[in-house]
Amino acid sequence: MNILLWHVHGSWTTSFVQGKHRYLVPVNAARDEWGRGRARTFAWPASVEEVDPARVRDVDVVILQRPGELERVAHLNVPKIYVEHNTPRGDVPNTRHPMADRDDLVICHVTHFNELFWDAGGTRTTVIQHGIVAPAARWTGEQDRLAIVTNEPVRRNRVTGTDLYPRFARVAPLDVFGMGVAGLRGDRITPYDDPPQHEMHRLVAQRRAYLHLCRWTSLGLSLIEAMQMGMPVIGLATTEAVAAVPPGAGVLDTRVDTLVEAAHWLLGDPAAARRLGDRARQVALARYGLDRFLADWDRLLEEETCGLR
Query: 256-268 and 270-287 are packed helices; what angle lies between their axes, rounded to 10 degrees?
Result: 110
Q: Which of 20, 14, 15, 11 is nearest to 3 (CA)?
A: 20
Taking the alpha carbons of 215, 221, 224, 230 in that order, is the dihedral positive or negative? negative
End-to-end CA distance of the chain: 14
Q: Examine the pLDDT at 54 and tell me if it is beyond 90.
A: no
Q: Which residues contact 305 (CB under 8 A, 6 or more apart)?
A: 1, 60, 61, 78, 79
- Residue 57: predicted pLDDT: 81
pLDDT in tens, 161-209: 999 999 999 999 999 999 999 999 999 999 999 998 899 999 999 999 9
Q: Examine the pLDDT at 294 and tell me if it is beyond 60.
A: yes
Cα 64 to Cα 83: distance, rounded to the nearest angstrom: 6
What the chain holds in terms of domains, given with CATH numbers, is 2-131+290-308 (3.40.50), 143-287 (3.40.50.2000)
CA distances from 102 to 81, 99, 116 (A): 12, 6, 18
Q: Are 245 and 251 in contact (CB under 8 A)?
A: no
Q: Which residues contact 302 (CB under 8 A, 6 or more apart)?
A: none
Helix (H) or strand (E) holding 154, with range, is: helix 153-156
- Residue 42: predicted pLDDT: 81
- Residue 53: predicted pLDDT: 77
Is residue 108 helix, strand or coil? Answer: strand
Kindly indicate the confidence band of residue 41, based on its pLDDT and cuts at 50, 70 and 90: confident
- Residue 308: predicted pLDDT: 63
Residue 28 has a CB neighbour count (10 Å cut-off) of 15
Kindly indicate the confidence band of residue 151, based on its pLDDT and cuts at 50, 70 and 90: very high
pLDDT in tens, 108-133: 999 999 999 999 999 999 999 999 99
Strand partners, 63: 5, 81
Tell me the average pLDDT across 65-86. 95
- Residue 309: predicted pLDDT: 54
Residue 83 carries which DSSP code? E
Mean per-residue pLDDT over the chain, rounded: 95
Q: In the 3-class helix/strand/coil scheme, how is 163-208 assigned residue by residue?
A: HHHHHHHCCCCEEEEECCCCCCCCCCEEEEECCCHHHHHHHHCCEE
Percent of the chain scoring above 70 in pLDDT = 99
Q: Examine the pLDDT at 86 and tell me if it is beyond 70.
A: yes
